[in-house]
Amino acid sequence: MKEYESRYKMSNKGKLFVLSGPSGVGKGTLREHALNDLSNLVYSISCTTRKPREGETDGIEYRFITHEKFEEDIRQNLFLEYAHVHSDYYGTLKADVERELEAGKNVLLEIDVQGALQVRDKIPEAVLIFVAPPSIETLESRLRNRNTESEEALRVRLSNAAKELDLQNEYDYIIVNDDLDKACEELRRIIHDD
């Protein structure tokens, strides 16, 4: 064990958990269950330049900001991680995560694979959890049933999903979301026991 990790585990700081996987795999549902079930777990809301979907509220699902503001925040080195995904930026502000960890809270990020690997480079003790679909066909069906993307956007998401699935072995844990109750229990156990 690295000296840094030993000091980290002995401190009163919280732990950082990173949840990622392809679009439509059920990350948001798993996140909501974990937040409802684990009292010392907080969610760090990401920033994005994409437009809000129907029913989304700024500051709840995401902080919706302009491309210009996002790029300015990149220049000022304000992000723990960020990525350009599906034609938009997504990123996590360092200050948000650091504030909660210092307060002793466990922090859950729901971010894409690019961002997760950036977090691993910056915070090696972060726990990376990959959510996988039972099959690519199941994933395509879930995405189609959401009715939130055009056919072209859907093809992009499926292409990206194949690339993301290739990186799942970079993670500490893999949860196959074929049964929601079982997947929720696995996530709770990982966060509670790790």
146-157: pLDDT as tens digits: 877 788 888 888
Question: What integer best gives the mean pLDDT of the chain?
Answer: 89
Does position 167 have pLDDT exceeding 80, yes or no?
Answer: yes
Least confident of 66-70, 81-85, 116-120: 81-85
Q: Using 50, 70 and 90 to split pLDDT, how confident is the model at 6?
A: very low
Interatomic CA distance for residues 176 and 45, integer angstroms: 24
Q: How confident is the model at residue 3 (pLDDT cuts 50, 70, 90)?
A: very low
Mean pLDDT confidence for 76-86: 91
Q: Is the pLDDT of residue 67 over 90?
A: yes
pLDDT of residue 145: 82
Mean pLDDT across the stretch 56-84?
95
pLDDT at 9: 44
Identify the pLDDT of residue 31: 95
d(Cα 116, Cα 131) in Å, to the nearest integer?
A: 12
Tell me what the mean pLDDT of segment 40-58 comes to: 93
In the predicted structure, residue 45 carries a pLDDT above the cut 80: yes
* The predicted structure's pLDDT at residue 11: 56
Please say if the pLDDT value at position 189 is more than 50.
Answer: yes
